[in-house]
């Protein structure tokens, strides 16, 4: 066994909760719970070399995950996504160390698979009988896939304007799908009500303690890929912000275990100009963010009026010397084409947003041209083909 999980500690007030039982948020203050491990024991139990030699996927890092691997469900192969240099774009930008981590290679085509793999396995292991999740889209299909794999019923609630391929995925996986004429925040309200009424487990972002652990594996993989000397900066498209918190948590844990050979990367949140709660808070020097009133962007994953764990997102940025950038929808659509044409990467609009953000940071002197920078592309654009220009094929 590899149970190094000690407790679930509130990210705000620190109160501890029994990790052998199912929890949502802190019983005392209502903030997010973060799993805490006996890192001293982990660092004696496993070495970087051992982790590197295990079969691919997130469970290579099982000592830093809840002890739920090997449960009945298939893991579908989340994690160990490609990380490669963007040579042509790098030259164009005058950068020598520009990288892309392509989360589109995950099951269901997005980084959401990491959180779902761990979240669903934990829910199943802790006796949950039925799941419910509000989503901007991709978390819904990822949780639907993993729920199907373990045989748990799931109720997914998403905005009616979510891209059709994502709805088709949910339907194929047999999820009970509800479309709401509103945003993810409206979906969250409906899930909260129905979950309370029917006894479903509410797996909303950062109101469930294990999804962040799955996302954490992105940080573990990035550190490992650079031989435990993290890159200078990671640019991250920030909707709910779980991945950013996860990477921060990964670096803290690795540092405490003595595996890191350098400081954590600067965590840089990229948002859409029409939905930029974290950017506004960052620019105001605030420790918490405010809900965006008229949230709008064509990037579904960025259409989150206020991340539930906004204070943790801002803390992760502050502690790593990060920053925040907002980009326009026109910029991120243009970037989808630029990434595809110049690097052969068909990035989702959320991931493509990182490219104009990077240009801005370089122009402003917020990033050096010789910095080692990772763009975290969160998904495959196959779900968003309506956003790229129509085929220009000629008929014959």
97 binds a second copy (CB under 8 A): no
152 binds a second copy (CB under 8 A): no
Would strands 83-85 and 98-102 be described as parallel, antiparallel, or unpaired? antiparallel
Interacting residue with a second copy among 28, 45, 160, 284 (CB under 8 A) = 160
Judged by CB under 8 A, which stretch of 4-12, 27-35, 48-56, 246-254 contacts a second copy?
A: 48-56
Contact partners, residue 172, CB within 8 Å, separation at least 6? none
Interacting residue with a second copy among 97, 342, 359, 362 (CB under 8 A) = 342
Shortest Cβ 345–a second copy spacing (Å): 7
Interacting residue with a second copy among 13, 172, 196, 284 (CB under 8 A) = 172
188 binds a second copy (CB under 8 A): no
Judged by CB under 8 A, which stretch of 16-24, 26-34, 144-152, 240-248 contacts a second copy?
A: 144-152
Angle between helices 112-125 and 211-225 (to 10 degrees): 130
- Tell which positions 116-135 bind a second copy, by CB under 8 A: none
170 binds a second copy (CB under 8 A): yes
Interacting residue with a second copy among 197, 285, 293, 395 (CB under 8 A) = 395
Do 239 and 289 touch, CB atoms closer than 8 A?
Answer: no
344 binds a second copy (CB under 8 A): yes
For a second copy, the closer CB: 77 or 321: 77
For a second copy, the closer CB: 226 or 282: 226
Shortest Cβ 300–a second copy spacing (Å): 15
- In order of 163, 280, 355, 378, the CA distances from 348 in angstroms are 12, 24, 12, 7
Distance CA 30, CA 373 (A): 35
222 binds a second copy (CB under 8 A): no
φ, ψ at 298 (rounded to 5°): -80, -5
- Tell which positions 351-390 bind a second copy, by CB under 8 A: 380-383, 385, 388-390
For a second copy, the closer CB: 228 or 315: 228
Distance CA 316, CA 306 (A): 16
**Both tokens of residue 328?**
């326009």
Distance CA 91, CA 259 (A): 32
392 binds a second copy (CB under 8 A): yes
Do 303 and 246 touch, CB atoms closer than 8 A?
Answer: no
- In order of 157, 188, 197, 203, the CA distances from 194 in angstroms are 11, 10, 5, 12
Q: Residue 132 pairs with which residues in a beta bridge?
A: 155, 202
Shortest Cβ 158–a second copy spacing (Å): 8
Distance CA 313, CA 333 (A): 25
Report the Cα 254 to chain-centroid distance in Å: 19
Do 326 and 279 touch, CB atoms closer than 8 A?
Answer: yes
At 46 the three-state DSSP class reads coil
Interacting residue with a second copy among 174, 199, 258, 263 (CB under 8 A) = 174
- Tell which positions 10-29 bind a second copy, by CB under 8 A: none
**Both tokens of residue 364?**
């402003």
Would strands 5-10 and 16-17 be described as parallel, antiparallel, or unpaired? antiparallel
Judged by CB under 8 A, which stretch of 10-18, 32-40, 205-213, 344-352 contacts a second copy?
A: 344-352
Shortest Cβ 99–a second copy spacing (Å): 10
Terminal C-alpha separation, the chain: 62
Q: How many residues bind a second copy (CB under 8 A)?
A: 76
- Tell which positions 69-88 bind a second copy, by CB under 8 A: 72-77, 80-88
204 binds a second copy (CB under 8 A): no
For a second copy, the closer CB: 30 or 82: 82
Shortest Cβ 69–a second copy spacing (Å): 12
């Amino acid at each position: 066994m590899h149970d190094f999980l000690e407790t679930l500690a509130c990210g705000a007030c620190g109160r501890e909760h029994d990790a052998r039982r199912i929890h949502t948020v802190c019983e005392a203050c209502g903030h997010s719970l973060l799993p805490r491990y006996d890192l001293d024991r982990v660092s004696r139990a496993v070495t970087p070399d051992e982790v590197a030699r295990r079969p691919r996927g997130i469970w290579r890092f099982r000592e830093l995950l809840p002890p739920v691997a090997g449960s009945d469900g298939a893991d579908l192969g989340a994690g160990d996504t490609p990380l490669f240099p963007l040579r042509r774009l790098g030259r164009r930008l005058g950068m020598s160390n520009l990288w892309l981590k392509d989360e589109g290679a995950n099951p269901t085509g997005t980084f959401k698979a990491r959180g779902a793999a761990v979240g669903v396995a934990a829910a199943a292991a802790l006796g949950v009988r039925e799941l419910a999740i509000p989503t901007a889209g991709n978390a819904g299909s990822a949780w639907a896939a993993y729920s199907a794999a373990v045989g748990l019923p799931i109720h997914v609630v998403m905005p009616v304007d979510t891209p059709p391929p994502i709805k088709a995925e949910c339907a194929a996986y047999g999820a009970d799908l509800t479309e709401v004429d509103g945003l993810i925040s409206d979906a969250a309200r409906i899930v909260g009500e129905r979950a309370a009424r029917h006894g479903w487990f509410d797996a909303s972002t950062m109101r469930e303690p294990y999804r962040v652990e799955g996302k954490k594996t992105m940080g573990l993989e990035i550190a490992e890929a650079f031989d435990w000397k993290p890159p200078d900066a990671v640019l991250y498209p920030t909707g709910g912000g779980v991945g950013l918190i996860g990477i921060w948590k990964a670096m803290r844990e690795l540092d405490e275990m003595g595996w890191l050979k350098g400081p954590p990367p600067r965590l840089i949140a990229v948002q859409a100009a029409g939905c930029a709660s974290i950017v506004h808070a960052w620019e105001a020097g605030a420790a918490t963010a405010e809900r965006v009133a008229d949230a709008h962007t064509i990037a579904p994953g960025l259409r989150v009026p206020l991340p539930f764990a906004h204070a943790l997102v801002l803390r992760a940025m502050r502690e790593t010397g990060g920053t925040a950038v907002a980009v326009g929808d026109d910029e991120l659509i243009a970037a989808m084409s630029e990434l595809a044409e110049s690097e052969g990467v068909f990035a989702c609009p959320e991931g493509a947003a990182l490219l104009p953000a990077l240009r801005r940071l370089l122009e402003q002197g917020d990033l050096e041209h010789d910095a080692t920078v990772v763009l975290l592309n969160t998904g495959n654009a196959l779900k968003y083909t309506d956003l790229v220009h129509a085929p220009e094929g000629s008929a014959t």
